[in-house]
Amino acid sequence: MSSFSRPAPLLDAVANAGDLAPAALLVQLLDGPLSDSSHPGACHTLLAVCPNSETVARAALRAAQEANTPLLYAATLNQVDRNGGYTGWTPASFADFVAAEADRLALDVPVLLGLDHGGPWKKDAHRQQALDYDETMTEVKRSITACVEAGYDLLHLDPTVDRRLPADTPVPIDTIVERTVELMRHAEDARRAAGRAPIAYEVGTEEVSGGLQSEDRFQAFLRQLDEALRAHNLPAPAFVVGDVGTTLAGAGFDAAQARRLTTAATEQMGALLKGHYTDDVAAPEEYPLSGMGGANVGPGLSAVEATALRELVALEARLDKSAGFSDALREAVVESGRWRKWLSSDEADRPFTDLPEERQRWLVDTGSRYVWTHPTVEAAREALYEHVAPYRDADAYVQWRVKTAILEYMHAFNLIDLSDRLEEVLSNDRL
């Protein structure tokens, strides 16, 4: 059985009575009683937070309680995996952490755990170790089993990378469909073996390498996947990920594209569209207006954490003290080498110090999530907190800055008091 004890038991009770996953029930509600019948999709965009640090994971729970809204977590295998990931969490220990924090905060809103980008070669280590296809699929399946056993509610199955193909060659749609079915069948077998109630699924990708960027290919993928899932008696996905014009370093969002893909996802599969790379989007209020059912935020919150810590460093300097935190963070990010995957083609061969200062700062902020648990960074952070302690509760300050950033998304996504509206619908049996 699940090791994660979720609040808001009414959602679970209704889902179990209907043999549904809680996330799938949420989609039914958002696309049903809580929707605008004149437009496909949702009027509320669920926020999925990537738990790239304890600070972000805690702040997300506080924000959800304050906003009175459901919260989704979307944990990549880089972040949380059987070997601990860069956060140090396994799926089980992450679930235990969230459950303990939810109990400590007396949380009474739904909290759903999710896997993000579960697929071959989606974990950095699998590429670095040059695993072949069978090896990486075996590793992914073991990780999916661990997620299921830990009580995850939503699994993003994303077999849209094949390192055996030439660069920039998308995986054929029929292959993506075949591998999505294979991963879902494995997850369903693991679910039954663990005695778990139904869980929900997310499919598709926003990545260019996935080859689903054109609307024609996106719709073809949905049609073929729908047929394959029906043939294998597998559940329809709750969410479909689509390219809505967002990038990690950009602020763009294509509302018209989002509306079209939302229509395709709801009409073909009864699913809602989910966007990734939502960090720092200029107009997040356009998401619910476009019918988007969900959005992932991650690296941007780690950047908020880094900025808040630099503000504490500035306070520390006024006290004529120095823990060396900024240097420790920068050195750990550079030594990790993981900043290189965000370089543009004209930057690829340049050393870090040759990049413009603003670009270096962005890479450190974005890459900070990989090194929060680095011993040198942890030690410098602890010393920084001690130095400013007479004038600032450092941990509370950083938590507040991250929570505030999360609340901004929740306001823009029309999530305030959504839990009350959900409970009203569930209590009145208006499904």
Please give the Cα distance from 280 to 282 (Å, whole number).
6
Which pLDDT belongs to residue 249?
83
Instruction: Write out the residue range of the structural domain in which residue 292 sits.
Output: 9-298+403-427
Is there a domain that residue 166 lies in? yes
Residues 336, 235 share a domain:
no
SS (H, E, C) the chain: CCCCCCCCHHHHHHHHHCCCCHHHHHHHHHCCCCCCCCCCCCCCCEEEECCCCHHHHHHHHHHHHHHCCCEEECEECCCCCCCCCCCCCCHHHHHHHHHHHHHHCCCCCCEECEEEEECCCCCHHHHHCCCCHHHHHHHHHHHHHHHHHHCCCEEEECCCCCCCCCCCCCCCHHHHHHHHHHHHHHHHHHHHHCCCCCCEEEEECCCHHHCCCCHHHHHHHHHHHHHHHHHCCCCCCCEEECCCCCCCCCCCCCHHHHHHHHHHHHHHHCCEEEECCCCCCCCCCHHHHCCCCEEEECHHHHHHHHHHHHHHHHHHHHCCCCCCHHHHHHHHHHHHCHHHHHCCCCCCCCCHHHCCHHHHHHHHHHHHHHCCCCHHHHHHHHHHHHHHCCCCCHHHHHHHHHHHHHHHHHHHCCCCCHHHHHHHHHHCCCC
CA pair distance 218, 60, nearest whole angstrom: 32
Does 168 map to a domain?
yes
Shared-domain flag, residues 266 and 345: no
Domain-embedded: residue 58: yes
Tell me: do 413 and 382 sit in the same domain. no
**b/e code 414-425 from CB counts within 10 Å (16+ = b):** bbbebbebbbeb
Task: Give the whole-angstrom CA distance, residue 290 versus residue 61.
Answer: 26
Verify that 182 and 224 share a domain, yes or no.
yes
* In a shared domain, residues 166 and 81: yes
**76 found inside a domain:** yes
Residues 189 and 329 in one domain: no
- Domain assignment of residue 304, yes or no: no
Same domain for 155 and 88? yes
Question: Do 332 and 419 fall within a single domain?
Answer: no
Is 309 within the bounds of a domain?
Answer: no
- Is residue 310 in some structural domain? no
Q: What is the pLDDT of residue 215?
A: 87
Interatomic CA distance for residues 425 and 428, integer angstroms:
5
Q: Mark whether 265 and 357 lie in a shared domain.
A: no
The predicted structure's pLDDT at residue 3: 44
Whether residue 69 is found in the same domain as residue 135: yes
Per run of 10 residues, the mean pLDDT along the chain (length 431 residues) is: 58 91 96 93 97 98 98 97 96 97 94 97 94 97 98 96 87 94 98 96 78 82 97 98 90 94 95 94 96 96 97 98 98 96 90 95 96 98 98 98 98 97 86 53
* Judgement on whether residues 221 and 326 belong to the same structural domain of the protein: no
Is the same domain home to 210 and 339?
Answer: no
Q: Return the pLDDT at 428.
A: 85
Q: Is residue 398 part of a domain?
A: no
Report pTM.
Answer: 0.95
pLDDT of residue 1: 39
Q: What CATH number should be reported for the domain holding residue 269?
A: 3.20.20.70
Split into its structural domains, the chain has a count of 2
